[in-house]
Every structure is written in structure tokens, then in C-alpha cells.
Amino acid sequence: MAYEVCRFTWRGIEIEARYNPHHFGDTAHLEIQTLSPEREPLPITGTGYRSHFHPRGMIDLHNAKNRGETLIEHVTDWLDAEAARPEWKKFVEGRRQLQLF
């Protein structure tokens, strides 16, 4: 089965998400990569790239619970949840401070 590929913007960062629910039998594969700015850190990866394997059906089960949530919405929810963590807030604030000088 081919990957579903979606591009979207999250907080000013262009992102590509690729998802294959049947990558290795019962294992699905989700790839997330920042496109612009290239290699921009995200709350789920400091390098701008994340490869995530999980049991097949996880995103589909999540979709059913959230009335047909799309792949973009799933990834955005994940990013938003991780962005609420104190470590990410500290990272973002540190970058802002550097831009003042």
C-alpha cells in the first residue's frame, strides 16, 4: 500500500506527513518532516524529522473516536499536545530571547 502524503502549516512551519497503515504487516509507519524552514525543530523532534512505528489501527481508532479526524488533524493534535509541555515552551522562549539581541 502506498503512503498517504499531506502537507500543512503548523505555527508557521511547513510540514509533510506521510502515513502507511500497512508498512510491515501489523505495523503502521508515520513520518513527519519539516520542509520550510528545513530541519526546523518541532516539539516531537529536535531535528525536524520523526519516523514513528506503531500498531496498525492506532490512527484509525483515534479517527473513529474523533469523528473522522484526518491525518493532518492527528499530527496537529500531537504537535499541540507536545507544544504544551514546559520543555518546549522553554525552548521557544529561549529562541525568542536570542532574536532580541
Taking only the tens place, the pLDDT of each residue in 36-71 is 999 999 999 999 999 999 888 777 655 555 555 688
Taking only the tens place, the pLDDT of each residue in 79-98 is 999 999 999 999 998 888 75
Range of the domain at 51: 4-99
As for how many domains the chain has, the answer is 1
Q: Would you say the pTM of this structure is higher than 0.75? A: yes
> 42 CB contacts (<8 Å, ≥6 apart)?
10, 13, 15, 32, 34, 48, 50, 79, 82
